[in-house]
């Protein structure tokens, strides 16, 4: 008998909706939402909501210590703080032409002095470590780049945090070619683990290179694909999922696809509203909290 045909999605042309359906495998709009497992009563008032807030403040003030099992997140990369051919607002030539991040994020310029950015990201990771259970894991997506002839591999951010492994996310390249550069096609995911973390059964068969197409058709300027969040969640054995840089709600949608509870934090009211609409479109139970 011939093998069953795998569901294929065209990398470059896949929209957020197509990837969602292919990865989660359900069209949630007309299906009744599945009941979520209540795993931790101390978090019940926080889960299933996008909290419109500064994430460090929210984590420190509202989330109990050692209560979260898995964090899947991608911070702003500080891309507008760039040496050389940096990303300028309105650039319509070179490798940044048409990049949706030319003007930064809605409530964040993505242009901090480097030392300040590193300090901020270390504060974010410290707050994440505080709320993480002793068997919990953080999947921290970032991007390496060369600045002033030196590799900026983000070691200054993650130094001292218990990084156990680095996963390569092989994504499709952008559409803007530059004659001085090979087309960049990867980002990294730092897997930062508390001491008792173990992968869920069978997850160690995933390799450390994940080939996942980027998403098109999302109003947010820098979403990660639902499949990326989905793989991280699948690799963690259970418990509540947190994304402190929630953006358009991708992690929440992936979490619900795995019947896992989630908490989202996002600074921009505009993106909170976007996340709410995407999440309720697919799941029907998102709430924004000011
Ligand atoms: C790379 S995007 C995350 C995109 C998200 N993974 C998705 O799939 O849509 C980073 C997000 O962090 C948000 N952000 C920036 N500073 C923040 C802060 N202090 N607290 C919470 N969110 C913040 C930005 O508004 C932006 O939406």
Question: What is the pLDDT at residue 133?
Answer: 98
Q: What is the model's pTM?
A: 0.84
- Answer whether 108 contacts ligand 1 (Cβ < 6 A): yes
Tell which atom from ligand 1 comes closest to the C-alpha of 246: 5
The model's confidence at residue 105, banded by pLDDT at 50, 70 and 90, is confident
Pairing of strands 68-73, 241-243: parallel
Which domains occur in the chain, in start order? 16-289 (3.40.50.150)
Q: pLDDT, tens digit, for every residue of 241-270?
A: 999 999 999 999 999 999 999 999 999 999
> 282 in ligand 1 pocket by Cβ < 6 Å?
no
Query: Which atom of ligand 1 is found nearest the CA of 54?
Result: 20
CB 219 within 8 A of CB 275: no
pLDDT at 287 over 80: no
Q: Of all residues in the chain, what percent carry a pLDDT higher than 90?
A: 59
If you compute the radius of gyration of the chain from its CA atoms, what whole number of angstroms results? 19
Q: How far is the CA of 6 from the centre of ligand 1 (A)?
A: 33
Positive or negative: CA dihedral 265, 270, 273, 278: negative
**What integer pLDDT is reported at residue 283 of this predicted model?**
74
Model pLDDT for residues 166-177, shown as the tens digit of each residue: 999 999 766 666
pLDDT in tens, 191-245: 999 999 999 999 999 999 999 998 888 899 899 999 999 999 999 999 999 999 9
Determine whether the shortest distance from the Cβ of 222 to ligand 1 is under 6 A: yes
**Selected residue with higher pLDDT from 188 and 91:** 188
Evaluate: CB of 100 within 6 angstroms of ligand 1. Answer: no
The first and second tokens of residue 276, run together, are: 């709410």
Most ligand 1 atoms within 8 A of CB, residue of 16, 76, 218, 278 to mutate: 76
């Amino acid at each position: 008998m011939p093998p069953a045909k795998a569901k294929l999605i065209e990398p470059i042309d896949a929209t957020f909706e197509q990837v969602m359906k292919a990865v989660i495998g359900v069209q949630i709009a007309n299906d009744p939402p599945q009941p979520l497992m209540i795993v931790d009563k101390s978090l019940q008032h926080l889960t299933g909501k996008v909290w419109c807030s500064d994430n460090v403040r929210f984590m420190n003030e509202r989330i109990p210590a050692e209560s979260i099992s898995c964090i899947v997140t991608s911070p702003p990369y500080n891309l507008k703080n760039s040496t050389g051919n940096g990303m300028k607002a309105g650039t319509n030539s070179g490798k940044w032409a048409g990049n949706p991040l030319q003007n930064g994020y809605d409530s964040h310029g993505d242009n901090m002095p480097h030392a300040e950015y590193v300090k901020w990201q270390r504060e974010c990771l410290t707050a994440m470590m505080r709320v993480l259970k002793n068997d919990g894991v953080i999947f921290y997506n970032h991007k390496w780049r060369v600045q002033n002839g030196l590799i900026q591999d983000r070691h200054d951010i993650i130094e001292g945090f218990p990084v156990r492994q680095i996963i390569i996310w092989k994504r499709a390249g952008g559409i803007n070619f530059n004659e001085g550069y090979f087309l960049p096609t990867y980002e990294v995911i730092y897997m930062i683990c508390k001491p008792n973390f173990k992968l869920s059964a069978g997850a160690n068969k995933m390799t450390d290179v994940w080939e996942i197409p980027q998403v098109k058709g999302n109003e947010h300027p820098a979403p990660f694909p639902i499949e990326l969040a989905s793989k991280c969640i699948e690799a963690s054995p259970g418990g509540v999922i947190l994304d402190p840089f929630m953006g358009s709600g991708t992690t929440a949608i992936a979490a619900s696809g795995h019947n896992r509870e989630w908490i989202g934090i996002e600074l921009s009211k505009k993106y909170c509203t976007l996340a709410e609409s995407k999440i309720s479109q697919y799941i029907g139970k998102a709430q924004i909290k000011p």
